[in-house]
């Protein structure tokens, strides 16, 4: 017999949801998020509200997106029937194309996103951006206790959608009832459920090929699964389990996802899916993911291509899985490179180094040597914190290559190393030479341009920054370099006193375009820097606590900087214990790879001393930070440090500020000099 679900009516919640959809026209919010435990009626509530809205607004297009564990492993997996992912490069461009494809139709779009806690990060990001831009009215459902992707949690955290919480029904269907129902299914119906347990959803035609018409019909009649038409251009109708718990219990009964029984079912599904053309990236990844855990592995070239697509789409976990699968089949350099990139971008530098160190460079061609040496050097410098070893390795590699292009690329990475090590004069000179070299490829231009832009900003050569930033941004480059460019541009705006413009620009780095950590955290560091400049220390600390926790697990120089800014924000709030702890962590993680930010560390130390009323020590620390910045050619940073000394009561800062203002003309410097003169006069 079909299982009985004790689903309450939730008339009050339905009324609130209807109001949220209707009020979206006023521009404040465009719908609601319905949160509640399994079995409380979220999906029913969403369906009733959607149907009611469509009745009252006949031109409305309703589209369903349903999260499942299998779809969560594939970029745009849940949206595969609505958007077509072309091979067009960066995640931000893919998201723009996806938004455009959803908007390119007549009538108003009502998007119903069921079980949003089980979306992949790209799908979750698309949902967030649709809500942010008001491009669709939305009903989103999810579990309140689930670790939802950050963009989904931000829907109510950023006040984009109303939040409606649904309580569990008084009489619930427990696990024993569900297990009994699954165990009591006839063999044919159970086989249909088992296939969905290993990969959900499946097109009705595919599930029918696997089990037969009678099995699917019987399972639907008994309430084990349901056939849905989600709208859009994908293969419809599509079959889902009637409740997420059915798939969970069926998979558990099979012995878990890695059991021989589950593996055999997955192999059967892969055989059916592989017999059909896969024209789009999402379809290719949706096949590659289960194939990697089946007895029907794809050819290594296809697995490797899928791994590289996953990395380009920002899905580091899937990229790692597929790269390992390719490496298990054949120990080739491309597989090792893909796996090393996936590990390094997750901050797992030791693991990445182990993968790369197994390669014998003696047998590599020059292009292969470059493809191997560049990520290994970068991993050594940043992730492993071994800058001397990385610099020596770079020099050795440069001595082995003969082409002008490869040497230029190595020089560009060397410029990046020099900048992070605080040698901005050498970094700027090397970067300038790379940018003037016609042999420089896109990667070289991106490294050199981003380094040159940040060096120029910190040196006070503000007029040079825009052109250098544009040169770097126009190159096809690894995504995290855009934050270096952003830091340069924000520095210029802060020195010019353009706080609102700086805040607007910094906000663009937290729009989830980078999709996965550490991108979001780095973006929040940029926002926090602007907030500190605007004396909003509470908001800055709120952002920096989780950002620092994320970044200090990686090897990026953003980690020490995030802790440094956190110490400053907490000290300015007079949080003595918190500031001391953050400063201690920043000092312990600071080194050559983050020497560029040594002046900021000195400023943080000054504010921490001021918080414990050590005025003399605070002024001394600020002076030391300013002089350090001047010694390394960071005149703009030195202006900021001397301004800190003035704010702490340094009456002798007039002369150095006057001298620096003669070199660097900016609003911050002029204001700092005026404050210093007023202090000295008083």
Q: Parallel, antiparallel, or unpaired for β 202-203 and 109-114?
A: unpaired
Q: What is the CA radius of gyration of the chain?
A: 28
For the domain that residue 33 is a member of, what is the CATH number?
A: 3.40.50.300
187 and 156 housed in the same domain: no
User: Listing from the earlier edge strand, what are the strands of the sheet with 225-228?
Assistant: 202-203, 238-241, 225-228
Max mean pLDDT range (18-32, 171-185, 249-263): 249-263
Range scoring the smallest mean pLDDT among 180-189, 312-321, 559-568: 312-321
Who contacts 659 (Cβ-Cβ below 8 Å, separation ≥6)?
none
Domain stop point among 165, 200, 219: 165
Query: Which residue, 530, 521, 527, 596, is CA-closest to 559?
Result: 521
Asked if residue 666 has pLDDT above 80, the reply is yes
Query: Which residue, 225, 224, 294, is CA-closest to 265?
Result: 294
Q: What is the pLDDT of residues 527-563, one digit of tens each?
A: 999 999 999 999 999 999 999 998 988 888 999 999 9
Tokens of 362: 């003696």
Asked if residue 514 has pLDDT above 50, the reply is no
3-class secondary-structure state, position 496:
coil
Asked if residue 660 has pLDDT above 60, the reply is yes
> By the 8 A CB rule, do 46 and 139 touch?
yes
Other C-beta atoms closer than 10 Å to the C-beta of 82 total 22
385 and 242 housed in the same domain: no
Q: What is the pLDDT of residues 502-511, one digit of tens each?
A: 999 998 887 6
Domain stop point among 118, 145, 165: 165
d(CA 648, CA 629): 18
Range scoring the smallest mean pLDDT among 237-246, 247-256, 612-621, 661-670: 237-246
3-class secondary-structure state, position 211:
helix
Beta strands in 184-327 (DSSP E): 202-203, 225-228, 238-241
In a domain, 288, yes or no: no
93 and 68 housed in the same domain: yes
3-class secondary-structure state, position 662:
helix
DSSP codes joined into one string, 106-121: SS-EEEEEESGGG--H
- Measured CA to CA in angstroms, residue 315 lies from 285, 295, 348, 517, 532 at distances of 11, 24, 15, 10, 32
85 and 202 housed in the same domain: no
Q: Is 99 exposed, middle or buried (0-12, 13-18, 19+ CB in 10 A)?
A: middle
Going 277 to 115 to 47 to 55, the CA torsion angle's sign is: negative
49 and 161 housed in the same domain: yes
**Mean pLDDT across the chain:** 89
In a domain, 451, yes or no: no
CA 94 from centroid of its chain's CA atoms = 14
- Return the pLDDT at 5: 55
Q: What is the pLDDT of residues 355-395, one digit of tens each?
A: 999 999 999 999 999 999 999 999 999 888 899 999 999 99
**Phi and psi dihedrals of 586, rounded to 5?**
-65, -45
d(CA 32, CA 24): 10
Q: How confident is the model at residue 26 (pLDDT cuts 50, 70, 90)?
A: very low
- Return the pLDDT at 316: 82
Higher pLDDT pick, 347 / 527: 527
Asked if residue 203 has pLDDT above 80, the reply is yes
d(CA 70, CA 76): 12
Domain stop point among 227, 254, 281: 254
Average pLDDT over residues 484-488: 96
Q: How confident is the model at residue 571 (pLDDT cuts 50, 70, 90)?
A: very high
d(CA 368, CA 669): 49
Query: Which residue, 457, 496, 459, is CA-closest to 631?
Result: 459
Average pLDDT over residues 203-228: 93
118 and 201 housed in the same domain: no
Average pLDDT over residues 636-653: 97
d(CA 506, CA 315): 24
Tokens of 223: 């309430």
In a domain, 32, yes or no: yes
- Return the pLDDT at 669: 96
Asked if residue 481 has pLDDT above 50, the reply is yes
In a domain, 136, yes or no: yes
Asked if residue 233 has pLDDT above 60, the reply is no
- Return the pLDDT at 547: 93
DSSP codes joined into one string, 320-367: HHHHHHHHHH---HHHHHHHHHHHHHTT-HHHHHHHHHTS-GGG--HH
Average pLDDT over residues 565-594: 96
In a domain, 61, yes or no: yes
**Phi and psi dihedrals of 137, rounded to 5?**
-75, 145
SS (H, E, C) 33-67: EEECCCCCCHHHHHHHHHHHHHHHCCCCEEEEEEC
Give the residue numbers spanning the domain of 356.
Answer: 338-402
Question: Looking at residue 162, what DSSP letter applies?
Answer: E
For the domain that residue 185 is a member of, what is the CATH number?
A: 1.10.10
What element of type H or E holds 532?
Answer: helix 519-533
- Return the pLDDT at 91: 61
In a domain, 231, yes or no: yes
Q: What is the pLDDT of residues 106-151, one digit of tens each?
A: 678 899 999 999 998 888 888 988 888 888 899 999 988 767 888 8
> By the 8 A CB rule, do 488 and 658 touch?
no
Asked if residue 25 has pLDDT above 50, the reply is no
Higher pLDDT pick, 276 / 53: 53
**Phi and psi dihedrals of 25, rounded to 5?**
-65, -20
35 and 139 housed in the same domain: yes
Average pLDDT over residues 266-294: 87
55 and 124 housed in the same domain: yes
20 and 108 housed in the same domain: yes
Higher pLDDT pick, 350 / 77: 350
46 and 160 housed in the same domain: yes
107 and 74 housed in the same domain: yes
pLDDT over 70 percentage in the chain: 92
Q: How far apart are the first and last CA of the chain?
A: 88
- Measured CA to CA in angstroms, residue 350 lies from 289, 555, 626 at distances of 26, 10, 36
Q: What is the pLDDT of residues 515-528, one digit of tens each?
A: 466 778 899 999 99
Tokens of 643: 């301004």
Who contacts 193 (Cβ-Cβ below 8 Å, separation ≥6)?
182, 185, 219, 224, 225, 241, 246, 247, 250
In a domain, 301, yes or no: no
In this structure, the chain runs to a length of 682
Q: Tell me how many domains the chain contains.
A: 3
d(CA 387, CA 378): 9
d(CA 162, CA 28): 10
17 and 112 housed in the same domain: yes
Max mean pLDDT range (30-44, 309-323, 417-431, 500-514): 417-431
In a domain, 519, yes or no: no
d(CA 382, CA 390): 9
pLDDT over 90 percentage in the chain: 64
What's this model's pTM, rounded to 2 decimal places? 0.79
């Amino acid at each position: 017999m079909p299982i009985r679900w004790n689903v309450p009516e939730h008339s009050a919640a339905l009324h609130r949801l209807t109001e949220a959809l209707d009020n979206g026209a006023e521009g404040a919010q465009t719908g609601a998020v319905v949160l509640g435990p399994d079995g409380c009626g979220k999906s029913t509530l969403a369906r009733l509200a959607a149907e009611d809205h469509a009745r009252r607004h006949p031109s409305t297009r309703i589209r369903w997106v349903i999260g499942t564990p299998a779809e969560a492993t594939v970029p745009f997996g849940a949206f595969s029937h609505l958007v077509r992912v072309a091979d067009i490069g960066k995640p931000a461009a893919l998201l723009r194309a996806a938004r455009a494809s959803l908007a390119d139709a007549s009538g108003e779009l009502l998007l119903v996103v069921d079980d949003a806690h089980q979306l992949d990060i790209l799908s979750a990001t698309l949902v967030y951006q649709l809500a942010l831009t008001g491009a669709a009215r939305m009903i989103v459902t999810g579990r309140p206790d689930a670790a939802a992707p950050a963009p989904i949690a931000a829907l109510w955290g950023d006040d984009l959608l109303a939040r409606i919480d649904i309580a569990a029904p008084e009489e619930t269907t427990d696990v024993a009832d569900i297990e009994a129902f699954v165990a009591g299914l006839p063999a044919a119906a159970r086989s249909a459920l088992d296939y969905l347990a290993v990969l959900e959803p499946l097109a009705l035609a595919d599930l029918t090929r696997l089990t037969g018409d009678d099995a699917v019909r019987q399972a639907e009649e008994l309430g084990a699964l349901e056939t849905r038409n989600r709208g859009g251009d994908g293969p419809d109708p599509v079959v889902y389990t009637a409740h997420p718990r059915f798939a969970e219990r069926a998979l558990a009964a099979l012995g878990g996802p890695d059991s021989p029984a589950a593996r055999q079912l997955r192999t059967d599904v892969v055989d059916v899916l592989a017999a059909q053309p896969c024209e789009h990236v999402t379809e290719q990844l949706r096949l590659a993911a289960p194939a990697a855990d089946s007895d029907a592995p794809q050819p290594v070239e296809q697995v490797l291509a899928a791994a590289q697509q996953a990395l380009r789409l920002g899905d580091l976990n899937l990229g790692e899985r597929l790269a390992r699968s390719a490496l298990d089949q054949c120990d080739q350099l491309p597989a090792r490179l893909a796996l090393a990139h996936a590990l390094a971008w997750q901050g797992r530098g030791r693991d990445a180094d182990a993968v790369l160190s197994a390669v014998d460079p003696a047998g590599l061609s020059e292009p292969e040597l470059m493809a191997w040496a560049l990520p290994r050097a970068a991993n050594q410098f940043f992730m492993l914190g071994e800058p001397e070893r990385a610099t020596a390795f770079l020099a050795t590699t440069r001595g082995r290559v003969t082409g002008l292009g490869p040497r230029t690329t190595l020089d560009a990475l060397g410029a990046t190393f020099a900048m992070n090590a605080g040698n901005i004069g050498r970094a700027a000179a090397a970067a300038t030479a790379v940018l003037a070299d016609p042999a420089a490829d896109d990667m070289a231009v991106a490294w050199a341009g981003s380094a040159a832009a940040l060096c120029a900003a910190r040196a006070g050569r503000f007029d040079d920054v825009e052109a250098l930033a544009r040169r770097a941004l126009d190159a096809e480059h690894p995504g995290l370099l855009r934050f270096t460019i952003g830091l340069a541009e924000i520095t210029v705006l802060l020195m010019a006193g353009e706080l609102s413009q700086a805040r607007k620009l910094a906000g663009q780095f937290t729009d989830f375009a980078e999709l996965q950590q550490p991108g979001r955290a780095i973006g929040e560091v940029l926002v926090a820097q602007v907030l500190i400049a605007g004396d909003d220390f509470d908001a800055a600390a709120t952002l920096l606590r989780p950002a620092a926790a994320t970044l200090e697990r990686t090897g990026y120089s953003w980690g020490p900087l995030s802790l440094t800014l956190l110490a400053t924000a907490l000290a300015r709030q007079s949080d003595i214990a918190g500031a001391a702890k953050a400063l201690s962590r920043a000092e312990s993680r600071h080194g050559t790879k983050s020497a560029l930010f040594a002046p900021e560390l000195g400023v943080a130390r000054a504010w921490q001393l001021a918080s414990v009323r050590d005025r003399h020590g605070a002024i001394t620390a600020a002076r030391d930070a300013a002089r350090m910045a001047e010694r390394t050619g960071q005149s703009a940073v030195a202006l900021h440090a001397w301004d800190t000394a003035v704010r702490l009561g340094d009456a002798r800062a007039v002369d150095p500020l006057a001298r620096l203002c003669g070199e660097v003309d900016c609003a911050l410097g002029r204001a700092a000099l005026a404050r210093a003169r007023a202090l000295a006069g008083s």
